[in-house]
Amino acid sequence: MSQTMITLKKGEGRTIKAGGMWIFDNEIDTIVGSFKNGDVVTVRDFDGYPMGKGFINQNSKIRVRMLTRKADVEIDEAFLTMRVRNAWEYRKTTVDTSSCRVIFGEADFLPGLVVDKYEDVLVVECLALGMEQFKLTIVDILKKLLKEDGIVVRGVYERSDANERIKEGLPKVKDFIGEPFETNVEIVENGVHYMVDVANGQKTGFFLDQKYNRLAMQRICKGKKVLDCFTHMGTFALNAGIAGAGDVTGLDISEFAVQQATDNAKRNGLDSTVHFRCANVLDELPKLFEAGEKYDVVILDPPAFTKSREATKNAIKGYREINMKGLKLVKDGGYLASCSCSHFMTQELLEKTIKEAAKAVHKRLRQVEFRTQAPDHPILWNNAAGTEESYYLKFFIFQVVDEK
């Protein structure tokens, strides 16, 4: 049993009681017992009712990240094996596991830890102090479980180089776990081949969360003229190309990303129909409009315009602007895909912003479908409205019709 006891204030702990995973600093009444940051502690309600166990960090406003709702469970290798096995069995049931997110932090009840699988390579991101003590054990457990299914892990790379580490009192880490290996990994997703650089690519090397949104665009893009904005490695553009789009242009401000995308087009034999160029999307779209360009399909997949609640107001302006500019380039009867990967840009806010953009440029929108992140990035529901920490990706597909 944990020797340190956290007692919540009366009336606090609403998020935990609603299904969440975090206890904030202002919700705690007393801490009894000695501990160091990162230790596992027991949590109880103001009246002594046991709430479970989690790890504590006084460097963070998220004071306790919960590991279990059962206060009498030991956080040992058997417990971690159960958590990792459940995560892997879930992926085998719900997604193509050749490349997928195997562990998604709080949504897999392993807070602060992400593990992505790219064919026979694992990439680990640890963002919480308390998870550091379990990280290597979890990697070993996962390798054993994968081997049971005939998957031999060639190498493990750690990409714990996000700024959140500093807030937790941790140094940034970017290095091999175990023996070095070739970090360029070829993967196949939706029939498209990519070369993923797990050491130098964004995040863990590739954005797996849009897998099935990219697939959904394939049927819409066949035979079409397509513009893919913020293309990064060319993912939406290449899905359009492999589906039989007639002409595809991808735009990105990063020369490195454009080179990667161009290489991927060649890798898939699509370099005659799918082209990329380096450009600031916000500047380029008005130039295309002035030049009289029109597209059957415009895809807007911008980076998160906000990573904090305080910056949401400015982010709304950014999303409104990019959607107005994108809508002007869609042919009458064509299609717009528009998304946000910001947790703080809620579904309701994004809907409102796109409606305002359509009204401003005199377009009518007919919703084809609404989608979220792929199932290997599961959304852990929390009955306290608006606090699902794991829900961040919103993806709309519309048909665009001129007002007449």
Q: Is 13 left (phi over 0), alpha (psi -120 to 50) or beta?
A: left
By the 8 A CB rule, do 116 and 185 touch? no
- CB contact at 8 A, 338 and 325: no
Q: Give the integer Cα–Cα distance in Å for 55 and 38.
A: 6
**Tokens 């409104």 appear where?**
320
CA nearest neighbour of 245 among 234, 257, 259, 260: 234
Catalytic residue among 100, 126, 221, 341: 341
DSSP state of 10: T
Residues whose CB is less than 8 angstroms from the CB of residue 326 and which lie 6 or more positions away in sequence, other chains included: 229, 285, 298, 300, 336, 338
Percentages of the chain per state (helix, strand, coil), in multiples of 5: 30, 30, 35
Contacts 24+ apart (CB under 8 A), 145-149: 145/81, 145/84, 145/85, 145/88, 146/88, 146/117, 149/92
Query: Tokens 């600031």 identify what position?
Result: 280
**Cα(344)–Cα(354) distance, integer angstroms:** 16
Nearest 5°: the CA angle 144, 200, 188 is 60
228-255 per-residue burial string, b: 16 or more CB within 10 A, e: under 16: bbbbbbbbbbbbbbbbebebbbbbbeee
52 Rama class: left (phi>0) / alpha (psi -120 to 50) / beta: left
Q: Would you call 341 a catalytic residue per the annotation?
A: yes
Which are the catalytic amino acids? 341
